[in-house]
């Protein structure tokens, strides 16, 4: 689809409609671009906002503002001053907690219960953790012997990289955006942020929080729009952007890498996954089923860390499949606003088409559909939304596309295994390498298997348990680099080593 097809020309009528208008935030001001596009609520397909698409001119202005801000008071702000501002931003998010929950839920269709428990608290935590970290980060130092028997002192100082372009997806919009904005600001950079076109609202609220917290103009800039041929492409190929940090699909990462090549811009990529879970017969059963239900269905399966491939020791295979079936069929699929809802719709009609196409392929490839495989019917406006049934597949060969390709929906394939080696071989037989989980009561086996997984993070008897100080990222098609803790500080700063002969 071209930009022209997607965009609605700006007209006076745009302001007279009842839907709010979401604008770009550049140099401390909300500004409109030349076109608008629709922000759709996936629960019922209604248009909830019109979003101003940032053209190349708006992206230019945002990058220029970010560059100027580096030379201004922000460039001179010390670590304690920056940390104090980050705490204020965290407080600002908490002060508007409900606004953020409502915005995130309306854009994504995720249950308000989930946004209240996960997305919004994590956004505030991201700012607090990186404020704490930057205050306590020491300098690397070495005493060095010189060839003439004297000494030199080496120490490395951290400097900002400069203007950082931040591009994020729609599944955990505020969580993933602040996961990058917080360390970038902690390290003294300025940012130009492009959230997903599907989920512009929480980032727009964050711009208000930034303004109200007293973040100097130009330090945080927000541009709305699409990827290829639009805002995202303008941002990643902009010659005055010093680094790009991106979360999204692996093939988008590849396109961004190409755009960054001419300027040799550093990139940090958190990409897709086709994550395995290995369930041993000695697992703690109730706990495993409880958490595996989240690992497959949380956020309607739209978490990069979700388990889409589940390998179960043969002696408990039947039990596991039937317990997961029960869990899937007990999920409350419904209106996101209803506090008892624990599964919402997929993000968009297009994404639902993709997920349904995998259900069709699964049938063609000979899968048993244990449960789900279709679209639920409600008899109300939700039938205009983008819901699918939680789905469990069995019986596919390891080469089937539903076992090798990321589906990004509430679906997993469950296969039996007979030995630890076989489970490991199947789990590692993928081009991706983001996350894995292992479920066992045998501590020695847990250590042994965990270190053989070709992934960035392995959970044992838990899933999506995050400590923000730890390295996070993936191998293979799942990403480049690590963020989290000192790894984020290292990406978002340049180290200048100073060697002094004493
Ligand atoms: P996507 O790659 O389609 O889009 C992500 C962002 O990139 C959006 O803001 C989009 O507008 C922008 N974009 C697209 N093409 C671009 C281009 N050519 N240049 C610049 N920007 C461009 O991803 P999505 O569909 O929004 O998100 C789902 C994907 O994200 C899944 O593959 C999922 O696994 C992955 N993901 C990974 C992680 C992780 O931490 N590894 C976290 C969340 C999501
Ligand atoms: C992907 O959908 C989830 C990614 C999670 C994180 O990046 C995180 O920091 O928890």
- Mutation pick for ligand 1 pocket among 231, 248, 255, 476 (CB with most ligand atoms within 8 Å): 248
Give me the mean pLDDT over the 161-181 stretch.
98
Ligand 2 touching residue 179 (CB < 6 A): yes
Instruction: Tell me the β-bridge partners of 473.
Output: 482
Q: Are strands 35-40 and 8-9 parallel, antiparallel or unpaired?
A: antiparallel
Q: CA–CA separation, 32 vs 53, rounded Å?
A: 8
| pLDDT digits 0-9 by tens, 360-406 | 999 999 999 999 999 999 999 999 999 999 999 999 999 999 999 99
> What single DSSP character describes residue 380?
S
E strand or H helix at 156, and its extent? strand 151-160
CB distance 105 to 336 below 8 Å:
yes
pLDDT, position 11:
34
Per the structure block, which two tokens stand in for 131? Answer: 């404020």
CB distance 139 to 157 below 8 Å:
yes
How many other CB atoms are there within 10 angstroms of residue 486's CB atom?
A: 14
Three-class SS of residue 230? coil
How many other CB atoms are there within 10 angstroms of residue 147's CB atom?
A: 5
Which ligand 1 atom is at minimum distance from the Cα of 170?
26
| pLDDT digits 0-9 by tens, 33-56 | 879 999 999 999 999 999 999 999
Per the structure block, which two tokens stand in for 158? Answer: 């951290």
Per the structure block, which two tokens stand in for 316? Answer: 């408990």
Give me the mean pLDDT over the 150-155 stretch.
98
| pLDDT digits 0-9 by tens, 253-271 | 999 999 999 999 999 999 9
- Asked about 306 being catalytic, the answer comes back as no
Q: Which of 187, 260, 283, 304 is catalytic?
A: 304
Give me the mean pLDDT over the 310-323 stretch.
98
Does 6 score more than 70 pLDDT?
A: no
Three-class SS of residue 356? helix
CB distance 184 to 491 below 8 Å:
no
Per the structure block, which two tokens stand in for 376? Answer: 């639920």
Q: Which of 53, 197, 233, 270 is catalytic?
A: 270
Question: What dihedral angle (degrees, nearest 10) is formed by the CA atoms of 20, 26, 32, 37?
Answer: -70
Per the structure block, which two tokens stand in for 485? Answer: 């803790």
- Asked about 304 being catalytic, the answer comes back as yes
Per the structure block, which two tokens stand in for 144? Answer: 């060095």
Does 2 score more than 90 pLDDT?
A: no
How far, in Å, are 155, 356, 383, 385, 387 from residue 353 at the CA level? 55, 5, 15, 12, 11
Confidence of residue 422 (pLDDT cuts 50, 70, 90): very high
Q: Nearest 5°: CA angle at 61, between 12 and 177?
A: 90
Q: CA–CA separation, 127 vs 186, rounded Å?
A: 8
Q: Are strands 220-222 and 190-194 parallel, antiparallel or unpaired?
A: parallel
CB distance 302 to 345 below 8 Å:
no
How many other CB atoms are there within 10 angstroms of residue 89's CB atom?
A: 27
Q: What is the pTM of this model?
A: 0.95
Cα of 272 vs centre of ligand 1, distance in Å, is 8
Q: Which of 167, 222, 166, 193 is nearest to 25 (CA)?
A: 222
Q: CA–CA separation, 420 vs 449, rounded Å?
A: 8
Does 4 score more than 80 pLDDT?
A: no
Confidence of residue 5 (pLDDT cuts 50, 70, 90): very low
Ligand 2 touching residue 466 (CB < 6 A): yes
Sign of CA dihedral 451, 453, 458, 459: negative
Which ligand 1 atom is at minimum distance from the Cα of 172?
43
Ligand 1 touching residue 270 (CB < 6 A): yes
Confidence of residue 15 (pLDDT cuts 50, 70, 90): very low
pLDDT, position 121:
98
Does 13 score more than 80 pLDDT?
A: no
End-to-end CA distance of the chain: 63
Per the structure block, which two tokens stand in for 95? Answer: 């002060």
Give me the mean pLDDT over the 244-250 stretch.
98
Cα of 303 vs centre of ligand 1, distance in Å, is 12
Q: CA–CA separation, 237 vs 63, rounded Å?
A: 12
Q: CA–CA separation, 200 vs 290, rounded Å?
A: 32
Q: CA–CA separation, 197 vs 53, rounded Å?
A: 9
- Per-residue DSSP letters for 98-112? HHHHHHHHHHH---H
pLDDT, position 17:
54
Give me the mean pLDDT over the 17-35 stretch.
91
> What single DSSP character describes residue 374?
S
Does 12 score more than 80 pLDDT?
A: no
pLDDT, position 139:
93
Percent pLDDT > 90 in the chain is: 96
Q: What share of the chain is helix, strand, coil (3-state, %, to 5)?
A: 40, 25, 35
Does 16 score more than 50 pLDDT?
A: no
Sign of CA dihedral 319, 324, 327, 328: negative
Ligand 1 touching residue 232 (CB < 6 A): yes
Between helix 173-186 and helix 79-95 the angle, nearest 10°, is 160
* Range list of β-strands (E), 361-474: 368-371, 391-394, 411-417, 435-439, 457-460, 472-473
Does 9 score more than 80 pLDDT?
A: no
Per the structure block, which two tokens stand in for 25? Answer: 């935030």
Three-class SS of residue 124? helix
Q: Which of 109, 64, 53, 14 is nearest to 388 (CA)?
A: 109
pLDDT, position 300:
98
How many other CB atoms are there within 10 angstroms of residue 469's CB atom?
A: 15
Ligand 1 touching residue 440 (CB < 6 A): no
Q: CA–CA separation, 51 vs 22, rounded Å?
A: 5
Kindly report the average pLDDT of the chain as a whole number: 95
pLDDT, position 1:
33
């Amino acid at each position: 689809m071209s930009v022209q097809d997607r965009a609605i020309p700006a007209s006076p009528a745009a302001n007279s409609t009842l839907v709010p208008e979401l604008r770009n935030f550049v140099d401390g001001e909300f500004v409109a671009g030349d076109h608008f596009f629709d922000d759709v609520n996936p629960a019922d397909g209604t248009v909830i906002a019109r979003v101003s698409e940032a053209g190349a001119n708006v992206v230019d202005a945002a990058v220029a503002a970010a560059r100027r801000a580096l030379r201004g008071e922000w460039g001179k702000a010390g670590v304690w001053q920056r940390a104090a501002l980050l705490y204020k931003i965290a407080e600002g998010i908490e002060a508007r907690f409900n606004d953020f929950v409502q915005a995130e839920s309306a854009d994504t269709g995720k249950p308000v219960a989930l946004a209240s428990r996960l997305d919004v608290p994590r956004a505030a935590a991201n700012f607090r953790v990186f404020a704490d970290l930057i205050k306590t980060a020491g300098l690397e130092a070495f005493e060095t012997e010189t060839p003439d028997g004297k000494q030199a002192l080496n120490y490395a100082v951290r400097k900002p990289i400069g203007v950082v372009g931040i591009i994020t997806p729609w599944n955990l919009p505020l969580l993933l955006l602040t996961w990058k904005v917080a360390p970038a600001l902690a390290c003294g950079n300025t940012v130009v942020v492009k959230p997903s076109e599907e989920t512009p609202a929480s980032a727009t609220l964050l711009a208000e929080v930034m303004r109200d917290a007293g973040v100097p103009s130009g330090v945080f800039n927000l541009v709305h729009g699409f990827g290829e041929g639009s805002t995202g492409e303008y941002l990643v190929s902009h010659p005055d952007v010093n680094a790009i940090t991106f979360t999204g699909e692996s093939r988008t990462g590849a396109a961004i890498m190409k755009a960054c090549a001419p300027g040799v811009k550093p990139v940090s990529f958190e990409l897709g996954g086709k994550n395995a879970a290995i369930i041993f017969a000695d697992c703690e059963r109730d706990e495993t089923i409880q958490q595996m239900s989240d690992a497959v269905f949380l956020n309607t399966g739209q978490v990069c860390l979700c388990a889409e491939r589940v390998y179960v020791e043969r002696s408990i295979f039947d039990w596991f499949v039937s317990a997961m079936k029960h869990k899937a069929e007990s999920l409350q699929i419904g209106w996101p606003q209803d506090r008892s809802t624990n599964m919402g719709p997929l993000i968009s009609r297009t994404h639902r088409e993709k997920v349904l196409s995998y259900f069709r392929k699964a049938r063609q490839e000979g899968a048993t559909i244990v449960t789900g495989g279709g679209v639920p019917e409600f008899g109300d406006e939700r039938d205009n939304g983008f819901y699918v049934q939680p789905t469990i597949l069995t019986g596919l060969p390891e080469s089937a596309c539903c076992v090798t390709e990321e589906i990004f929906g509430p679906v997993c394939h469950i296969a039996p295994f007979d030995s630890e080696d076989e489970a490991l071989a199947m789990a590692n037989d993928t081009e991706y390498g983001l996350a894995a989980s292992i479920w066992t009561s045998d501590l020695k086996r847990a250590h042994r298997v965990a270190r053989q997984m070709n992934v960035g993070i392995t959970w044992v008897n838990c899933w999506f348990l995050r400590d923000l100080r730890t390295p996070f990222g993936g191998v293979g098609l799942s990403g480049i680099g690590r963020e989290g803790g000192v790894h984020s500080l290292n990406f978002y700063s340049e180290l200048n080593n100073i060697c002094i002969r004493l």
